[in-house]
């Protein structure tokens, strides 16, 4: 049997080279380590891709196209071919524009003979030639994001209707359109000026080059903070999505929300986006426990005031908070049992900000839809994390990312940590598929990354003495940089061993006082997550937290005193006069 092993960072091996059988066969876990319902089986298409993986698409001949999330020599698009039809990739090639497409680069779809892909600022396509793996022609730019700057929430998933239109979301570069983004007690702006050009979905001509959002696009939905999971549902000819809800209710409004409420709110809300839909961001959020649309605290809410605006659409379904829905697929094949044609698969990438409670998500879920109404959420694929209680996001060995349907009706799953891809097939008698075949998945519902956390028992900080610096770090920094200071591996950089942390104290103080909106590079990798300013903290607190991180996570840099913080605060004030 032919097997595949990618040798670490030896990127030269990726360039149009077939991979042949090794002398010693690789030992592989059953189903590639996945836990699936009875009669489903998985094979590992590829163990890892050096550029890792975001979304993916499968052509009519079974070639798998994958969007990487890290810049690699030769381009951030992969194509994988299974020559002997055993489900595993035998040949891998990579290609793409000579640009760093960024960690948010995510779109990868095939539509009417073209491969469409996206960077953080562009949507482009290649003409596909039957039988040819790598497109021979140059990329053609279809949509250009005005501004051309990497920013918060600028992932661009792609989908198409049956009339020649392409849909592209433009995420809002803000958490809740506050006057000072993510600053405690900062009020929201109303009307939110970001909604004129962001926070929604725009429709374009799928075949017309060089279109711009405000000039050429038609907005079809608004009030959507951040979309990575979006698709056209052929069953009802409607656009569907699951958005990422807002962050940090406790860190921004501690007098209104405790840490448990912040972990549980707001819902990752699923919408059926009919033309003109207003999903409510930034004024409202969906509470999955109350099953109500609630007023955000930036606009006068207190966790109890419900939405009274009839123009706001309630979601079709409310998933648990912070699970990070990153792909959505309505199954249309004939291989799986019929019940899977009446629902949606969702890839949950997993949370980063549920602390002090365990991180959650990290599964492929299936939501049945019966007579137009949602059924009970099911775990379809588990086993990605390789552990139960996740303190840090990077504790998960794999993070589910993309979904695609193959020409034979198989389901392909990508993950973003190593670039592993699975092909899931049904091996049983689909006519006799019973609910009993799902019993084995019930255990997944009790895992800490799936079940709702107990407010007391699951609090990982309980009975933990904290220093002043650690207390501030846990309140304001842990959500992005994680408990262990290693970051999330994608958007937010590590503090452990970072020259930005252990280097010039002046630079570090200024980052905390002024924030940072541009990408930051560490060890050749770009991190584009926005760093808000923390000038609302007093000089003592900034001194304490910076001293903490410079002496924690294996760092051994000198403390930072209050005098230095005070001098830079005074200088910055003087420069604004």
Can you list the domains of the chain with their CATH numbers?
Answer: 11-446 (2.120.10.30), 468-576 (1.10.760.10)
**Alpha carbon distances (Å) from 438 to 338, 444, 445:** 15, 11, 12
For residue 214, which phi and psi values (nearest 5 degrees)?
Answer: -75, -25
Query: At 397, which helix (H) or strand (E)?
Result: none
Dihedral sign, Cα of residue 7, residue 13, residue 19, residue 20:
negative
Helix (H, G, I), strand (E, B) or coil at 285: strand
Each residue's pLDDT tens digit, 117-146: 999 889 999 999 998 999 988 999 999 986
Token pair, residue 564, equals 């230095």
Is 450:444 a contact under the CB 8 Å cutoff? yes
Residues 6+ apart with CB under 8 A from 454: none
pTM for the complete prediction? 0.87
Digit-coded pLDDT (tens) for 306-362: 999 999 999 999 999 999 999 999 999 999 999 999 899 999 999 999 999 999 999
Identify the pLDDT of residue 570. 86
Q: What is the pLDDT of residues 533-576, one digit of tens each?
A: 888 888 888 988 998 999 999 998 888 888 888 988 888 887 77
**Tens-digit pLDDT profile for residues 417-455:** 999 999 999 999 999 998 889 999 999 999 999 999 999
Q: How far is it, in rounded angstroms, from Cα 328 to Cα 229?
A: 5
- Taking only the tens place, the pLDDT of each residue in 51-61 is 999 999 999 99
Q: Spell out the residues 6+ positions from residue 532 whose beta carbon is closer than 8 angstroms to its own.
A: 180, 181, 182, 183, 515
Check whether 150 has a pLDDT greater than 80.
Answer: no
Contact residues for 465 (Cβ-Cβ < 8 A; gap 6+): none
User: Which residues does 79 contact at the CB level (< 8 Å), separation at least 6?
Assistant: 63, 64, 65, 66, 92, 93, 94, 95, 133, 134
The residue with tokens 């983004």 is 181
Predicted confidence at residue 89, as pLDDT, reads 97
Distance in Å from the first CA to the final CA of the chain: 71
| pLDDT tens digits for range 464-515 | 777 888 888 888 888 889 888 888 877 788 999 899 999 998 989 888 888 8
Q: Which of 5-19, 104-118, 231-245, 257-271 has the lowest mean pLDDT?
A: 5-19
Angle at 6 between CA 5 and CA 10, to 5 degrees: 145
Q: Which region among 78-87, 103-112, 233-242, 274-283 has the lowest average model confidence (pLDDT)?
A: 103-112
User: What is the helix (H) or strand (E) element at residue 293, kind and residue range?
Assistant: strand 292-295
Helix (H) or strand (E) run with residue 467 in it: none
How much of the chain exceeds pLDDT 70, in percent?
94
Are the C-beta atoms of residues 187 and 133 closer than 8 Å to each other?
A: no
Instruction: Give the range among 69-78, 287-296, 434-443, 509-518 with minimum mean pLDDT.
Output: 509-518
Q: Quote the CA–CA distance of 513 and 487 in Å, as a whole number.
A: 20
Average pLDDT, whole number, for the chain? 90
Give residue 6's pLDDT.
35
Torsion of CA 549, 555, 559, 565, to 10 degrees: -50
On whether the CB atoms of residues 306 and 295 are closer than 8 A, the answer is yes
A 10 A CB-CB count for 370 gives 10
pLDDT of 90 over the 50 cut? yes
Please say whether the beta carbons of 109 and 116 come within 8 A: yes
């Amino acid at each position: 049997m032919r097997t595949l092993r990618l040798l670490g960072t030896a990127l030269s091996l990726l360039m149009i080279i077939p991979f042949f059988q090794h002398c010693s066969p690789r030992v592989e876990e059953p189903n590639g380590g996945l836990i699936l319902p009875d009669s489903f089986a998985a094979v590992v298409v590829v163990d890892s891709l050096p550029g890792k993986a975001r979304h993916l698409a499968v052509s009519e001949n079974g070639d798998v196209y994958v969007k990487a999330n890290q810049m690699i020599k030769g381009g951030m698009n992969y194509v994988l071919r299974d020559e002997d039809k055993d489900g595993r990739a035998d040949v891998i090639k990579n290609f793409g524009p000579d640009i760093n497409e960024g960690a948010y680069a995510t779109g990868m779809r095939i539509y009417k003979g073209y491969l469409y892909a996206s960077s953080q600022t562009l949507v482009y396509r290649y003409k596909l030639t039957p039988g040819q793996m790598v497109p021979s022609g140059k990329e053609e730019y279809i949509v250009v994001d005005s501004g051309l700057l990497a920013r918060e929430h600028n992932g661009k998933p792609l989908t198409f209707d049956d009339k020649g239109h392409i849909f592209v979301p433009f995420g809002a570069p803000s958490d809740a359109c506050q006057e000072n983004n993510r600053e405690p007690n900062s009020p929201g702006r109303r009307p939110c000026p970001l909604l004129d050009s962001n926070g929604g979905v725009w429709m374009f001509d799928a075949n017309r080059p060089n279109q711009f959002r405000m000039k050429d696009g038609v907005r079809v939905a608004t009030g959507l903070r951040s979309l990575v999971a979006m698709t056209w549902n052929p069953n009802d000819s409607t656009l569907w999505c699951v958005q990422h809800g807002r962050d940090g209710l406790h860190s921004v409004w501690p007098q209104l929300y405790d840490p448990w409420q912040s972990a549980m709110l707001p819902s990752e809300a699923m919408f059926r986006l009919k033309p003109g839909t207003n999903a409510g961001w930034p004024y409202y959020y969906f509470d999955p426990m109350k099953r109500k649309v609630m007023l955000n605290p930036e606009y006068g809410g207190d966790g109890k005031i419900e939405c009274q605006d009839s123009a706001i659409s309630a979601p079709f379904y409310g998933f648990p908070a912070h699970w990070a829905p990153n792909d959505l697929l309505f199954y249309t094949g004939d291989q799986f049992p019929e019940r899977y044609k009446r629902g949606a698969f969702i890839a949950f990438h997993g949370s980063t900000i549920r602390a002090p409670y365990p991180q959650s998500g990290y599964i492929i879920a299936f939501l049945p839809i019966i007579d137009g109404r949602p059924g009970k959420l099911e775990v379809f694929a588990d086993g990605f994390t390789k552990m139960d209680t996740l303190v840090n996001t990077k504790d998960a060995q794999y993070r589910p990312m993309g979904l695609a349907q193959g020409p034979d009706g198989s389901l392909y799953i990508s993950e973003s940590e190593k670039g592993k891809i699975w092909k899931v097939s049904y091996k049983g008698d689909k006519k006799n598929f019973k609910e009993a075949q799902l019993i084995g998945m019930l255990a997944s519902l009790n895992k800490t990354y799936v079940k709702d956390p107990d407010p007391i028992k699951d609090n990982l900080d309980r009975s933990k003495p904290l220093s002043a610096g650690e207390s501030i770090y846990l309140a304001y920094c842990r959500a992005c940089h994680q408990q262990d200071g290693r970051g999330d591996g994608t958007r937010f950089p590590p503090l452990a061993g970072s020259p930005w942390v252990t280097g010039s104290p002046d630079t570090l103080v200024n980052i905390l006082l002024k924030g940072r909106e541009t990408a930051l590079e560490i060890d050749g990798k770009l991190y584009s997550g926005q760093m808000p300013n923390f000038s609302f903290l007093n000089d003592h607190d900034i001194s304490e937290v910076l001293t903490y991180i410079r002496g924690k996570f294996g760092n051994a840099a000198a403390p930072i005193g209050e005098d230095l913080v005070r001098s830079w605060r005074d200088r910055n004030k003087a420069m604004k006069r």
